[in-house]
């Protein structure tokens, strides 16, 4: 039967094989990954999807980022998103809203840990995008906030990009009027910053 199908519709079996090889990168993030204040096509996640479509067409990107999302929200949603997308790689970009609200460091870490464990148990590789926050809450909080990401990466042996916004953090022109969300022109820099940490997970 397979031979007959190949003779009658020669592209059918090739297309089916290609579909079977399709792999997914799932991004779980907040407004920084949801292209807040921009069109969705301008965000770094969409730019990553374009890059992969051109260079690695077997890979697709699913953006499950939500503006205003906290780690608690991400932890509550990740099970459904893993079931929906069955990703091979999960990129977790969350925590900034926890920090801006001064939420407890232990709870933020526990939420991120739930996400990392869930993603690993699903068989996906994980890239954790670390964040830093202004020193408003004092050095103990800001240092502990940053340390959370390092400790989680070490404990669970997952990839870590220490500071997602590093390429633009000191460039005021890279941010919108709220001084929180990157402008469209900064999005390629964020994509390019993520790429060296993400690329090894795609093979």
Please list the residues that pair with 175 across neighbouring strands.
182
Active site residue 85: no
Q: Is 122 a catalytic residue?
A: no
The residue from 55, 173, 178, 203 that is catalytic is 178
3-class secondary structure per residue, 35-82: CCCCCHHHCHHHHHHHHHHHHCCCEEEEECCCCCCCHHHHHHHHHHHH
Of 30, 33, 65, 181, the catalytic one is 181
What pairing do the DSSP bridges indicate for beta strands 125-129 and 23-29? unpaired
CB 30 within 8 A of CB 93: yes
Query: Which of the following is catalytic: 31, 33, 65, 122?
Result: 31
181 is catalytic: yes
Distance between CA atoms of residues 148 and 139, nearest Å: 14
- Catalytic residue numbers read 31, 178, 181
């Amino acid at each position: 039967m397979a031979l007959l199908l190949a003779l009658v519709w020669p592209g059918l079996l090739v297309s089916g094989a290609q579909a079977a090889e399709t792999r997914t990168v799932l991004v779980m993030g907040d407004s920084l990954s949801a292209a807040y204040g921009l069109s969705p096509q301008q965000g770094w996640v969409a730019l990553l999807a374009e890059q992969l479509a051109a260079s690695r067409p077997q890979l697709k990107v699913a953006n499950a980022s939500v503006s205003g999302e906290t780690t608690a929200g991400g932890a509550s949603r990740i099970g459904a998103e893993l079931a929906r997308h069955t990703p091979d790689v999960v990129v977790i970009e969350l925590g900034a809203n926890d920090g801006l609200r001064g939420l407890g460091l232990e709870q933020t870490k526990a939420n991120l840990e739930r996400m990392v464990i869930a993603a690993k148990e699903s068989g996906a590789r994980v890239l954790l995008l670390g964040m830093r926050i202004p020193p408003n809450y004092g050095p103990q909080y800001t240092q502990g906030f940053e340390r959370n990401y390092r400790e989680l990466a070490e404990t669970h042996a997952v990839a870590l990009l220490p500071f997602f916004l590093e390429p633009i953090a000191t460039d005021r022109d890279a941010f919108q009027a709220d001084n929180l969300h990157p402008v469209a022109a900064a999005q390629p820099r964020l994509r390019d910053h993520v790429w060296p940490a993400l690329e090894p997970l795609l093979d």
